[in-house]
Amino acid sequence: MPPLTIGKLAKQTEVTIETIRHYQRIGLLTEPAKPEGGYRVYSADSITQLRFIKRAQQAGFTLKEIATLLSLDGAHCADVRRHAEQKCQQIDQQIKDLKALHQVLETLVNDCQQTASTARCAILDAFCDDASIKS
């Protein structure tokens, strides 16, 4: 395998160079030593770690949560499961919150349709009146 520079690592993992640098700054990815007059060379493990980070993000985990997951090893399956269960509960709550928000907006749109002939916008008026928006 040819030397894996940051550019090649970015291309293989479909992330930007700046993303890799950010992950290094926050400790999610180890930055290899820079040889005298040369380029940093990344290991194949860096590819695996970046793919892990991207998949965990797709599953809804934040970078801070991913750092916690990375600090656990395969022997801590119960801890990983607990984190995944907490994430599921958090997602369930977000879904409930979004449904409530959807209902509020739907009500505002309906109010706007009923008052479309007036000079004032019912939606904008509702945003100005604290009592008008209830979830």
| Extents of the domains making up the chain | 1-71, 76-135
Residue 133 is predicted with a pLDDT of 54
In whole angstroms, what is the distance from residue 69 CA to residue 95 CA? Answer: 24
Torsion of CA 121, 122, 123, 129, to 10 degrees: 110
CA gap 10, 70 in Å, rounded: 20
For domain 1-71, the CATH class is: mainly alpha
What b/e readout covers 65-80, taking b as 16+ CB neighbours within 10 angstroms?
Answer: bbbebeeeeeeeeeee
Q: φ and ψ at 47, to 5 degrees?
A: -65, -50
pLDDT at position 72, please? 86
pLDDT for 30 equals 92
Q: pLDDT value at position 76?
A: 81
Q: Kindly report whether the global pTM for this prediction surpasses the value 0.85.
A: no
Highest mean pLDDT among 3-7, 68-72, 89-93, 121-125: 89-93
Per residue in 20-79, pLDDT (tens digit) is 999 999 999 999 998 887 889 999 999 999 999 999 999 999 999 999 998 887 778 899
pLDDT surpassing 80 at residue 98 = yes
pLDDT at 134 over 70: no
- Nearest 5°: CA angle at 38, between 32 and 6? 50
